[in-house]
């Protein structure tokens, strides 16, 4: 764990050396929340009935969707970004030459990206709270568990993307495709039951669909955790399955890169 923290600290120190970039990253959140607030208010009468099972306010609905999308995007892209940066800077081989287990190295390398997204998502929610969104804090443990499962699911996609990066020096359309699909079909801006039935099968194959629905019910409607059993079980199933696939894929990719001698090539 100390190894992860050391990598996290190094990433934090590196990022804080670009102070202006950090400030812009936080300031840009204003340009997300404020327009969202006014657009959501305008759409409230139209959306009210279709979102009723997850939220009473469309602004709260879409805010939770946007914050979660921020979080899952970072979870999926943190590791491939960190691996690409480490290959480019020549630090990947230096890390892998140490006795630290690759799993800890990869965890530590991606930790900053995920935690920074958590901060950004928290700021979004806090801004939403200022603008009238009510969060059922009594369900905080369930909310945190759902977020953790979502992070694991999408971090597992990040593992697969990193494996592709190690083997082919590109993640291909995997991440952009996954995140676009998640944004369009995962229920970020509208509930999944309003999308055509033939495409709902695809929606059902996305972890975000289950995570976001349960998250909104828990955080915005105060639905107790026992009534979220199906969505939570689906999400946990996705997490276990994807993590297993991701771990196996990245281990195979490391072996492949070592056999091909391409580990540090960029």
Partner 1 sequence: MTVLQVSPTQARHGAGWHGAPAVQLQGLTKHFAQRRSFRDMLVPRPRTPRVAAVDEVSFEVAAGEVFGLLGPNGAGKTTIFRMLSTMILPDRGSAVVGGFDVVTQSANVRRILAAVPADERSLHWRLSARENLLLFAALHRVPQSEASARVQELLGTVGLGTAGNKLVAAFSSGMRQRLLIARALLARPRILLLDEPTRALDPLSAQEFRRFLRREIVEHRRCTIVLATHNTEEAFGFCDRVAVLDRGRVLATGATTDLAARFGEERYRLLTTDPDHPALSALERCGLLRSLCRSQSSSPDWMIVECAISGDPARSAQVLKRLVESGVPVARLERVDTSLADLITRIIGAAPKSVAHA
Applying CB under 8 A, the residues found at the interface with partner 1 are: 2-3, 5-7, 9-10, 13-14, 17-18, 89-91, 93-100, 105, 255, 258-261, 263-264
Closest CA to 186 of 154, 155, 220: 154
CB-CB neighbours of 109 under 10 Å: 25
Q: Could you tell me if residue 21 is left (phi over 0), alpha (psi between -120 and 50 degrees) or otherwise beta?
A: alpha
Q: Phi, psi at residue 196, to the nearest 5°?
A: -55, 145
Tell me how far, at minimum, the Cβ of 183 lies from partner 1, in Å. 32
For the bound state, the minimum distance from the C-beta of residue 165 to partner 1, rounded and expressed in Å, comes to 17
113: CB partners within 8 A, 6+ apart: 11, 74, 77, 78, 79, 81, 82
Contact 186, 206 (CB under 8 A): yes
Q: How far is the CB of 10 from partner 1 (least distance, A)?
A: 5
The CA distance from 111 to 78, in Å, is 8
Q: Which CB sits closer to partner 1, 50 or 264?
A: 264
Nearer to partner 1, 105 or 208 (CB): 105
Q: Which is nearer to partner 1, 51 or 86 (CB)?
A: 86
Q: Which is closer to partner 1, CB of 102 or CB of 132? A: 102
Alpha carbons 9 and 100: distance in angstroms, whole number: 16
Q: Which CB atom, from 99 or from 173, has the smaller least distance to partner 1?
A: 99
Residues 218, 74 contacting (CB under 8 angstroms): no
Q: Which residue has the tokens 């530590």?
A: 108
Shortest distance, CB of residue 85 to partner 1, whole angstroms?
A: 11
Q: How far is the CB of 76 from partner 1 (least distance, A)?
A: 25
């Amino acid at each position: 764990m100390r190894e992860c923290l050391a990598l996290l600290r190094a990433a934090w120190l590196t990022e804080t050396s670009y102070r202006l970039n950090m400030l812009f990253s936080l300031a840009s959140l204003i340009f997300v929340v404020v327009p969202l607030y006014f657009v959501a208010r305008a759409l409230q009468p139209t959306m009210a009935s279709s979102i009723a099972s997850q939220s009473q306010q469309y602004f709260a609905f879409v805010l939770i969707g946007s914050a979660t999308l921020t979080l899952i995007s970072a979870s999926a892209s943190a590791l491939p970004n960190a691996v690409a940066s480490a290959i480019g800077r020549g630090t990947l081989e230096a890390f892998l030459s140490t006795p630290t287990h690759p799993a800890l190295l990869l965890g530590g390398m991606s930790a900053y990206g995920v935690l920074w997204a958590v901060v950004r998502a928290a700021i979004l929610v806090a801004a939403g709270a200022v603008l009238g969104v009510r969060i059922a804090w009594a369900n905080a443990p369930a909310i945190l568990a759902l977020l953790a499962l979502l992070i694991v699911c999408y971090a597992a996609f990040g593992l697969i993307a990193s494996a592709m990066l190690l083997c082919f020096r590109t993640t291909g359309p995997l991440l952009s495709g996954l995140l676009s699909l998640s944004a369009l079909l995962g229920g970020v801006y509208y509930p999944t039951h309003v999308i055509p039935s033939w495409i709902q099968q695809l929606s059902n194959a996305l972890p975000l669909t289950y995570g976001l629905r349960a998250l909104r019910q828990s955080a915005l409607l105060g639905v107790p955790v026992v009534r979220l059993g199906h969505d939570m079980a689906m999400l946990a199933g996705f997490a276990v399955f994807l993590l297993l696939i991701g771990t196996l894929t990245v281990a195979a990719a490391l072996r492949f890169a070592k056999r091909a001698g391409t580990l540090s090539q960029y």
